[in-house]
Amino acid sequence: MKYLLLIASDPTLPSPEPGDADFDAYMAAWTQYTEDMEAAGVYCGGEALQGADTATTVRHDSGATTIVDGPFAELKEHLGGYYLIDVDTLDDALAWAKRLPVGTGAVEVRPVFPTDEF
């Protein structure tokens, strides 16, 4: 059985940024964690997401579809899964999000943070 580990944190707490003195140590801890999962044979994949301010939400309700900048406004909805897609533009991603057969619900569309530079 596969599990998605959704990492949530308080955005008001400080976090090292590239160029900070402690950033390399911060990233080393994440690298070690990933290597430990790989060594245990449990790692399937993972990505860091860009901030919630980069999200766009496609909301489906009673046959209507709306697009709103930002993440889900309501926390009563539960994340049931995710699709990772590779498209050229945000508009392409939104087109796929509109096609999801969710009935009544929402799809948060968020760019993946590029970590290959670290």
Residue with tokens 């309501």: 74
Rounded distance between C-alpha atoms, residue 38 and residue 31, angstroms: 10
Count, in order, helices (H) and strands (E) of the chain: 2, 3
22 and 65 share a domain? no
Does residue 57 share a domain with residue 104?
A: yes
Confirm whether 85 is domain-assigned: yes
First to last CA, the chain: 31
Residue 56 lies in a domain: yes
Per-residue pLDDT of the chain (118 residues; tens, 9 = 90+): 466 567 667 667 777 888 999 999 888 888 887 898 789 777 888 787 777 778 888 989 998 999 988 765 554 455 556 778 888 888 988 888 787 666 666 778 888 877 777 7
| pTM, full prediction | 0.62
Contacts of 9 (CB under 8 A, 6+ apart): 15
Q: Which domain holds residue 105?
A: 52-109
Cα separation, 98 vs 108, in Å, equals: 11
Does 117 map to a domain? no
35 and 65 part of one domain? no
Residue 83 lies in a domain: yes
